[in-house]
Amino acid sequence: MVAFELDADTTHPSDFALLRNGGLATYRGRAVLDEAEQELRQLGYEGIRLDAHGWTESELHEAFASALNFPDYYGRNLNALADCLYDVPHGDYGWSATSAGLAVTVDGYGAFAEGEPDLATSVADLLAGATSTALLFGHRPGGVVERPDRLGRRVGAADRVLDVRGAEPRPSG
């Protein structure tokens, strides 16, 4: 099962641009982030939005567990988060694998990354890895995070920045 048809760059420009470069993108500015979410919803994606402003590690785990309906035995640590995120592409948690895809939006990610840079990088890498796994199964989950311009470092190995609608992702600096 393929995730996209050959003409996906024209029929699904928003999600194709997001997923072709790793499935995790940062958006500089609320308006662009909101527009991306709306476009993904119009394409049939299910979406969840997490508010990362001021997250501690325990709040991060509670937010993901609640939003994605993780099982009661979820261990609330990075290893357990990785395990559950890798089960999401199968439709085990958080969405129906029959929908177009799942968009996980992390609002306030820049503030979180400024306060917890190592944890933020780990979470970004886990989201990107889960997206790569989903693509192997023909599903289209992706992560979109909001990051202000003032954050001058990369957040996650697969970080891409989208500045305007339809713009090609480019490595952030």
Distance CA 16, CA 10 (A): 9
The CATH code belonging to domain 13-160 is 3.30.370.10
In this predicted model, what pLDDT tens digit does every residue of 37-51 receive, in sequence order?
888 888 888 888 899
C-beta of residue 143 within 8 angstroms of C-beta of residue 131: yes
Using pLDDT thresholds of 50, 70 and 90, give the confidence band for residue 150. Answer: very low
Using pLDDT thresholds of 50, 70 and 90, give the confidence band for residue 153. Answer: very low
Distance CA 38, CA 68 (A): 20
Distance CA 128, CA 151 (A): 19
Distance CA 144, CA 137 (A): 20
In this predicted model, what pLDDT tens digit does every residue of 90-121 receive, in sequence order?
778 888 777 777 888 888 888 888 899 899 88
Q: Considering the entire predicted model, what is its pTM?
A: 0.76
